[in-house]
Amino acid sequence: MLRFFMHKTLPSVLLVALAFLPLTTARAQLTGETFVEEVTTPRKLDYLLSLPRGYEAESEKKWPLIVFLHGAGERGDEVEKVGVHGPLKRIREGADLPFIIASPQCPAGEWWTEQPVLEFIDHLEATCRVDASRLYLTGLSMGGYGTWHFATLAPHRFAAVAPVCGGGVPYRMREIPHLPVWAFHGAKDTVVVPDESERLVEALKKNGNKTVRFTVYPEAAHDSWTATYQNPELYEWFLSHRLASKN
C-alpha cells in the first residue's frame, strides 16, 4: 500500500510529497513448514505540484491533470530539479496554464519503469480535484521513455500523451491504437536518436492509430523539449482530448 505525506515548500502552488512503497515479500522454509514474512523497504518519491489559478476559489470544480516525467539529469534527492524543464518551468516563467501539474522525481540511478507512477496518479486523484477524463502524461528523454511505457501499461487511463525525445518497444503500440499521441524529437539528436520515436510512430500507424502526430525539429539536437513545452498549441491539444467513458 502506498502512503503519501505532504508539506508545502513554496507559496500557494508548489508542494513536495514523500511516498513509501513496500517492495518485497520474503519466503523461508524451516522444519518442513513454510513461513511467509513481509519485508517492507521504504521507497521515497518526491514531487512538485502546481495548482492552477482559481483552484481554491472554485471549490467544486475539477481540473485536468498533467503528469510530467523528467529526464535522467534531474534524478536524485533535490526535488527542485524537476522544475527546470517542462510545464513547471512555464509556470515559473509566469504562464497561466489551466491544469493541475505534477512532477515526481526519480531516485538517483533508477528509471521510470521502476517507479510507482500509476499509484502516484491514484494518490493525486484521491487528494486533488482531478478531472479523471482529462489526464495527460508527458516527459522528456528518460521521461519520454517513461511516457511511452506507462501509456501502454495503462492504455485506457490517459486522454492523451506527449513523449519528447523518448523511445520504447514497437510491439507494445498495439495496446494504444485509440490513444491520441503527439511525439517530438530533434533531427540532430545523438543522445536518443530520432529513430527511437519514429519507429513507435510507425508502429502506431500500422496498428490503426489515426490520431498520432510526430514533430521533428530540423535543427534541434537532444533538447527538443524547450520548443515543445514553450508551444501553447501543446496545451491546447491536451485540452482538446478527454475520455468519454469518464465524463
Q: How far apart are CA 127 and CA 112, in angstroms?
A: 22
Residue-level pLDDT at 244: 87
Residue carrying the nine cell digits 539536437: 221
Per-residue pLDDT of the chain (247 residues; tens, 9 = 90+): 333 333 333 323 344 444 444 444 444 444 455 555 655 556 677 899 999 999 989 889 999 999 999 999 999 999 999 999 999 999 999 999 999 999 999 999 999 999 999 999 999 999 999 999 999 999 999 999 999 999 999 999 999 999 999 999 999 999 999 999 999 999 999 999 999 999 999 999 999 999 999 999 999 999 999 999 999 999 999 999 999 877 6
Residue-level pLDDT at 184: 98
Task: With beta carbons less than 8 A apart as the criterion, state whether 173 and 197 touch.
Answer: no
Q: Among residues 103, 106, 115, which one has the least CA distance to residue 77?
A: 106
Residue-level pLDDT at 246: 73
What CATH superfamily classification does 11-18+46-246 receive? Alpha/Beta hydrolase fold, catalytic domain (3.40.50.1820)
Q: How far apart are CA 236 and CA 114, in angstroms?
A: 31
Residue-level pLDDT at 9: 31
Crossing angle, helix 117-127 and helix 142-153, to 10 degrees? 80
Q: Among residues 36, 52, 105, 50, which one has the least CA distance to residue 77?
A: 105
Amino acid at 46: D
Q: Torsion-angle region of residue 189: left (phi > 0), alpha (psi -120 to 50) or beta?
A: beta
Residue-level pLDDT at 38: 58
Residue-level pLDDT at 25: 40
Residue-level pLDDT at 59: 87
pTM: predicted TM-score of the whole model, two decimal places = 0.86
